[in-house]
Amino acid sequence: MVMTSTPSEKAALMEDSVIKGRSLWDDARVRLARNKAAVAGLTVLAVLTVIAFIGPLVWVHDPSFIFRDKVQLAPTFADLHIFGTDAQGRDLFARTMVGLRMSLMVGVVATAVSLVIGVIWGATAGFIGGRVDQIMMRVVDVLYSLPFIFFVIILMVVFGRNIILIFVAIGAVEWLTMARIVRGQTIALKNMEFVEAAQAAGVSRFSIIRRHIIPNVLGPVVVYVTLTIPVVILAESFLSFLGLGVQEPLTSLGNLIANGARDMEIAPWTLIFPAATMMLTLFCFNFIGDGLRDAIDPKDR
């Protein structure tokens, strides 16, 4: 359940901001700290991130080491195979940590690519309007008509297949919806008084977009970003299932889930633990997104 501020709490925050001269970002930080679900999501996500990046370095089992006499071993604390082993005899807990790290990297980097492209494209199209807007949005429509997997395959065939290209390829597709969202918000904002005042003062279009339009669309953008990261993680999982994503000896949660689904009848733990890890990660992003929306959205102040 997402916690929201009551009218009295909002009034107290506004009064406190005026008295202490607190900026809007300081106010947003306080509002976020009061959202228990968002704080819990941030805490759990921070723990998962530490486990993903530090865990494989200190865990007793190497994620690539094959225990030939422990193939599909059930979870046990005897030899510290707490998640069991997979079909090749590799420690599943070590593999899950590596997979979580790769999925987080793909999600964050690809979403950052889509964020930069989508926000700039949508804000520019919405603010300038006219023929420029029509041309830019027709480009978006054309790209929307291309199947996602077809577009990614083309990029990989042209530029070669490597882990960096996976980040760029997914981000280069996911920016389309973000551009539409930002464009719609920009059209609603560009006729408001503070934008007209900036235009009357001779402020350039670029400065208005950077200083007035983009900061005021952060609420919807942040919410969509937290939704995009899980979508990107799932997209990478689909590509890995087809053999176009992360390749051995690396792995991702999508790879692990695909392998676990194949072996779930004889070794259900190979599916349960990676799937539970992904589910927990996605829950964290959703709670954080709700909290950031309530904290940043200027209409909620």
Segment 99-110 shows an average pLDDT of: 88
Three-state DSSP class for residue 74: coil
**What is the domain-level CATH number for residue 111?**
1.10.3720.10
**Residue at 90 is within a domain:** yes
**Residue at 95 is within a domain:** yes
**Residue at 19 is within a domain:** no
42-51, 102-111, 225-234 — which is least confidently predicted?
A: 225-234
Question: For position 300, what pLDDT does the model report?
Answer: 53
**Residue at 26 is within a domain:** no
Question: For position 146, what pLDDT does the model report?
Answer: 76
Q: Which band of pLDDT confidence, cut at 50, 70 and 90, is reported for residue 18?
A: very low
Segment 115-129 shows an average pLDDT of: 87
pLDDT tens, residue by residue, 209-220: 777 777 777 777
**Residue at 1 is within a domain:** no
**Residue at 150 is within a domain:** yes
Q: Which band of pLDDT confidence, cut at 50, 70 and 90, is reported for residue 23?
A: low
Please give the Cα distance from 273 to 286 (Å, whole number).
20
* Domain ranges, residue 223: 35-300
**Which two structure tokens, joined as six digits, stand for 200?**
């009357």
pLDDT tens, residue by residue, 138-191: 988 888 887 777 776 776 667 666 677 777 777 777 888 888 888 888 888 887
Question: For position 2, what pLDDT does the model report?
Answer: 44
Three-state DSSP class for residue 95: helix
SS (H, E, C) 9-36: HHHHHHHHHHHHCCCHHHHHHHHHHCCH
**Residue at 78 is within a domain:** yes
| Average confidence score pLDDT of the chain | 80
* Single pTM value for the model: 0.77
**Which two structure tokens, joined as six digits, stand for 103?**
């999925």
Q: Using an 8 Å Cβ cutoff, are 243 and 48 in contact?
A: no
CA 21 to chain centre: 33
**Residue at 10 is within a domain:** no
Please give the Cα distance from 256 to 100 (Å, whole number).
10
Cα end-to-end span (Å), the chain: 20
52, pLDDT greater than 90: yes
Q: What's the structural domain count of the chain? A: 1
